[in-house]
Structure 1
Amino acid sequence: MAVNIYDDINKLESTFRNTEEFTKLQAAVEAVTADAEANDLFKGFRDLQMTLQQKQAQGEEITEEEMMSAQATAQAAQGNPKILAMLEAEMGLSQIIDEVNRVLIKPVQSLYESM
């Protein structure tokens, strides 16, 4: 009998959307989006992070000036109460995702542990 794991994954996704952690993040994202200053600040922070990650992935060196700019941008973003609340909500949601990953990987780990 074939198992369709995707039915379970879709059900989990629906459950995930109804968690308190997801709801908090959703509200925090809406608060940042509704505040033009916070939204622009966060977009600048996210864009700079992505640019630096791309440089690293391509083996390019990140200059000291870029690092200082990234730190200043991160401090400004985290200094905004709405962005900070959003980042904290994201961390709470990440804990659930990490736990799901741990549970899903258990069968694979047990296979190797039996060797």
Structure 2
Amino acid sequence: MELVPHNPTSGVYPATDDYVHAMEVRDPRRLLYLAGTMGLDQQGTPAATVEEQLELIWNNIRTILASADMTVDNIVRLTSYLRDPAYAEANARARVTALQGRAVPTTAIVAQTLDSSWLVEIEVIAAA
């Protein structure tokens, strides 16, 4: 599998350093679509702060990816659903840390979650 980022420098607004406009995935053998993953512990209890929830989210994502013999290096696209726009900076920091600075196409949306204690939810597409 080959990943080819597409980040045109003219004709479209510039991307920031932490994401790319598009990622071409050439010859993938497998695709994995992760449902929105929340900052819940193994008992289903949400962490108290957005930072703690983001830590749980990325641990949960790594666990789900591992069940498919993948890692965060296989992530080719992600969408974050934030309960409050004030969570955008913490979410971006957690993403950059989790992906070790690797840029992927990403979108952050402010949305009302089904449970008010769910502060962030992240949906992922991975390829191998």
TM range (shorter): under 0.3
More helix by share: 1
Q: Which has the larger radius of gyration?
A: 1
Which TM-score applies when normalising by structure 2? Answer: 0.25
